[in-house]
Amino acid sequence: MQPHVQSGEQSGEQPHGPSHEQPFASLRGQLQEAAATFAGGQDALEGILLGLVDDVDRAVREPLEIFPVCHHSPASALAMARRLREKQPKVVYLELCEDMAPLLTELRNCKLPVAVQSFATEIDGFPAEWSPLSVVAPITEASAEYQAIAYALDTPGVELVLVDRSSDHVFQWDARGEQHERTDQAADPDAPPAEEEAALHGDAVGVDIGDLRPRFAELEEHLLRHGRVRHWSEWWHQYVELPLGDSDHDTYRQVMFLIGSLFRRLAPGDPHRVRVDEDRERYMWTRMREHRAATGVDPADCLYVCGAFHAASRVEEFGIEGADTFEISPRSATKWQHGLIPSSHAAIEAQFGLAAGSVSIAATVWAKNVKRTRVQPYRLEGQAGTKKSRAKKKAVAAAPPVPEIEAADRLTGFLQQPPVLDALDEAELRGWSVDVVRAARRNGYLASTADAIAVFETSILLAGMRDRAKPTPYDFQDAAVTCIEKDAVPGRRDVRRIVEIMMGGDRVGQVGYESLPPLARDVHYRLAPLQLPLEKRGVQRALLDIAGRPELEACSDVLWMLRRLLPHGAARPIMGERKLGERSIQESWDLALGTHQRALIELGYEGVSIEQVLEQRLRRTAYAPTATAATVLEAVEDATLYLGSRRLADELGSHALTVLAAERSVDGAPEVLRRVRRLLAYYRTSEPVLPPWIESFVKAGYAHYCTLLPVAFTDEDATVRQVAAMLGFLFSMESLALSLGCDRTQLELAVGQSHPEDPSKTALLWAAQTHLGTLPRAELRSRCDELLGNPLVVPSYPRYLSGFVHALEPVPGLTDFVVEAVSNAFGRLPDPVLLPWLPTLITTLRKDGADLAPLLIREAGRIFPGRLAALDEWVPPWLAQPVVDAARRGGRTGGGAGGGAAHAKRSTLLVAHPQTCDALAGLLGYDGAWASADPGADAGSGTGSGTGGGGAVLVGRHPETAAALGALLGG
């Protein structure tokens, strides 16, 4: 039961309504009666019903012709085309953001649907978290607005004026809370997950011409239930679209006015939304009056295209004679960029909460209607993506403008007519049934001819149950689901989707090359040597033989930058990698630039070339308040890697220095160490001298980490890994830092000041001390033995071990000792301690020590016997040592780790070639003779053992040094 029949029922009695000379007098009378019958007298119902007629009346009387439309309505589009041919207006006012005007002519280069986008990243006057701002207005071919645009742009002497608020005002009037509310409403718990195409608009705010839908849920529910339809699009199709299909202009207008007024009067809805709507109406009328004042155009030559909802407006500013009380607020200082992005039917449906497939179905209906009614639609000259078969359209058949007749009451007749029943088109339905079965088979369903028959039969039965002779596409969809779908297999298209695709499918638009921003065009131009149709959707494989064709290297550079800038999947390397100092000679890529056209276009808003955009982004990351030394170094690396820009790298590097100096935590230490090492290695091999910034960085880092070391050792928040990384930085950069003027004492003091309590950090400290020479290995070994021997400490031994494992990073020379310590742990730790610790060891090695583990394993492989047979007589080297020690007990205990054999070798060497030593002694002024080799000369042993005869003689001869030292020490 549809609304118009209800009022029609009452039409039997002749009204005695107010005797104005108005076209709607009789309708008024009938409605008054109806109100009296149903509600018993003067009350709200009468107010609403008569108000409806008033609205229609006012809109019809407006001297500037208002053309009400509904979005994605083929009937609107058809009526529009017809009206434009008939009236040939000179000025078309269109409800669309006024700042989008310059872009509309670009539409002809694109395959529709595309969306006109306003985009702003540099925002001013809005909360920063709204950034980036984006507004999209999708345009399909089957829409009334496209008809108006095509007519206005391609007919000489016709002006198209966009009158709706600018994109800036969209956000000025935006209450963010409301946005969320609306998306919540649209979320249907049973809805299938969105397809990829549905995300084409990103998170832009959509603006649409002619949004016409009940504003409160109860009304919509009521209409749906009574219309025996499932969603709004279906209701619209059956109760407005079909009856209006071939009606004349007056009927069309009046009915649309009525619907707009109905939704407006019945549903005040969210007050904020109402206010925005009214402000928009004021805005539009103010703009139209301004335009008319400026050009002096006759209202009779104008056409105002707006949503039916806005046509039923009651604001004071309504009409060309309306009040001029509205002041348009100035735009904010936000810098807006404009462009076209590809859109799709699915994206439009998702954005505006329409039923899935409804836009596609509208497109199909439009094509059919155009064919049936032979109305010549307008189309932009050279519109891409359309067939050019129709040769040349006849130079617009300039039908003489029809003289305006006084608008008569067409509503009464329309409201009284019985529901329009579309006759059953058997051939069409049969075609659909066969097609859907074939499509289902292609998608892996077990569907046969029997199913086609069943679908056909079920569609007709379903339509019958829903009071229509002809199955709508929605009935057909239901029938197909009933008869074909047996299983829900994840990853397979469901039948509903198959039907949608069959009904014209999801059409994805494409922005033509000429309408792309310079950046996107530049990218396409630079990738042209690949000889791939990159503008097409889908994934393309690019093979780059750079060694064979050096000109492809430039393409490779572009691709790597795109990979850095575009979302995942737009450019994906399959083979080949880019690291500092490395270049591939062959690369292969999976490119999907066509699919990610929107991302590329939005990149174009940020700059004119990808290099520029990348540079900006790197700068932004590096100078962000949250940037750490590690992230800045990453930016430096990227700048070198992708841009090859020393200038930028130097600038960012210097900034890294300041960031590092301001850092108080050591969280980023491992990352900083890794990156600095990599950069150093790169600069050492590729540059003649190190860039000054990295020298200062090493210097500053050395001092910085020395300062933080004692704190980090005791700080509970700093992990072993971080401390190890600090030590790694200090030890591995030491030689460079010292050569640049740092002082080693600083490090020694820092280590001396460190008193960790945590066992693993203690172990780390011991390792550091060993490296610095303050803790001999023998001592280290005995400390470990003590730990193992003390039953009270044994449980914490594993933690010491993990400290040693981490120590491999700063002190790789300790590897053999770590192997020994681990082996000792396996050999001597009691099982209750050892077993719980094993998983920890494995995870530590896997997580933190991915690059340390190979080191350990190699060392272990060297120490342990390789064959099983050798195991029996194998003695671990650390156990074998006492024997060797005993062998050379007669000699002096040397420093270092060398055994007695090495010691002997050195002595032999000295005896054989005494010249060096003699020369050195001569220089120092010592002229002693060589003693016999046997007692063991100490020339080869390390420092700290030089109290032999030679030394005493030297001091005796030159007492000055010793005296001076004594004076210094003694004070």
Q: Which residues bind another protein (CB under 8 A)?
A: 1, 189-190, 225-226, 230, 446, 448, 450-451, 454, 457-458, 461-462, 464-466, 478-479, 481-483, 485-486, 488
Closer to another protein by CB, 249 or 466: give it.
Answer: 466
Closer to another protein by CB, 356 or 384: give it.
Answer: 356
Residue 228: CB minimum distance to another protein, A: 8
Closer to another protein by CB, 220 or 590: give it.
Answer: 220
Closer to another protein by CB, 329 or 448: give it.
Answer: 448
Contact 120, 161 (CB under 8 A): no
Number of alpha carbons in the 13 Å side-chain half-sphere of residue 383: 27
Residue 839: CB minimum distance to another protein, A: 21
Encoded tokens for 472: 């709508």
Residue count (the chain): 971
Residue whose pair of structure tokens reads 């006024």 in the numeric block: 98
C-alpha angle with apex 141: 135 to 144, nearest 5 degrees? 80
Closer to another protein by CB, 303 or 498: give it.
Answer: 498
Conformation bin of residue 538: beta by default, left when phi > 0, alpha when psi is -120 to 50: left
Contact 859, 815 (CB under 8 A): yes
Closer to another protein by CB, 227 or 594: give it.
Answer: 227
> Nearest to residue 698, comparing CAs of 720, 722, 718, 679?
679
Residue 116 phi/psi, 5-degree rounding, is: -80, 130
CA separation for the pair 510, 899 (Å, rounded): 77
Residue 234 burial by Cβ neighbours in a 10 Å radius (0-12, 13-18, 19+):
buried
Closer to another protein by CB, 201 or 466: give it.
Answer: 466
Q: Where are the alpha helices (DSSP H) in 22-69?
A: 25-39, 44-61
Sequence-separated (6 or more) residues with CB below 8 Å from residue 319: 58, 62, 63, 64, 285
Closer to another protein by CB, 446 or 952: give it.
Answer: 446
Closer to another protein by CB, 224 or 532: give it.
Answer: 224
Residue 440: CB minimum distance to another protein, A: 13
Residue 352: CB minimum distance to another protein, A: 22
Residue 511: CB minimum distance to another protein, A: 38
Residue 483: CB minimum distance to another protein, A: 6
Residue 357: CB minimum distance to another protein, A: 15
DSSP string computed for 593-605: TTTTHHHHHHHHT
Contact 603, 565 (CB under 8 A): yes
CA separation for the pair 596, 606 (Å, rounded): 16
Residue 449: CB minimum distance to another protein, A: 11
> Nearest to residue 537, comparing CAs of 342, 339, 340, 338?
342
Residue 467: CB minimum distance to another protein, A: 8
Closer to another protein by CB, 486 or 889: give it.
Answer: 486
- Mapping DSSP onto H, E and C, the string for 899-961 reads CHHHHHHHHHHHHHCCHHHHHHHHHHCCCCCCCCCCCCCCCCCCCCCCCCHHHHHHHHHCHHH
Residue 404 burial by Cβ neighbours in a 10 Å radius (0-12, 13-18, 19+):
exposed
Residue 453: CB minimum distance to another protein, A: 8
CA dihedral 276, 280, 283, 287 (to 10 degrees): 160
Residue 459: CB minimum distance to another protein, A: 9
Contact 484, 495 (CB under 8 A): yes
Q: State whether residue 287 is helix, strand or coil.
A: helix
Number of H helices, E strands in the chain: 42, 11
Closer to another protein by CB, 486 or 647: give it.
Answer: 486
Closer to another protein by CB, 223 or 255: give it.
Answer: 223
Closer to another protein by CB, 466 or 721: give it.
Answer: 466
Closer to another protein by CB, 457 or 545: give it.
Answer: 457
Residue 884 phi/psi, 5-degree rounding, is: -60, -45
Residue 13: CB minimum distance to another protein, A: 20
Closer to another protein by CB, 446 or 924: give it.
Answer: 446
Closer to another protein by CB, 228 or 777: give it.
Answer: 228
CA separation for the pair 258, 260 (Å, rounded): 5
Residue 266: CB minimum distance to another protein, A: 17
Sequence-separated (6 or more) residues with CB below 8 Å from residue 382: 108, 109
Residue 458: CB minimum distance to another protein, A: 5
Residue 6: CB minimum distance to another protein, A: 9
* Rg of the chain in Å (alpha carbons): 42
Q: Where are the alpha helices (DSSP H) in 485-551?
A: 495-502, 518-526
C-alpha angle with apex 958: 957 to 959, nearest 5 degrees? 105
- Mapping DSSP onto H, E and C, the string for 892-908 reads CCCCCCCCHHHHHHHHH
CA separation for the pair 774, 754 (Å, rounded): 14
DSSP state of 310: H
DSSP state of 639: I
Residue 489: CB minimum distance to another protein, A: 12
Closer to another protein by CB, 1 or 964: give it.
Answer: 1
Number of alpha carbons in the 13 Å side-chain half-sphere of residue 238: 28
Residue 43: CB minimum distance to another protein, A: 19
Residue 351: CB minimum distance to another protein, A: 23
Residue whose pair of structure tokens reads 């080799």 in the numeric block: 933
- Mapping DSSP onto H, E and C, the string for 799-837 reads HHHHHHHHHCCCCHHHHHHHHHHHHHHHHHCCHHHHHHH
Closer to another protein by CB, 448 or 893: give it.
Answer: 448
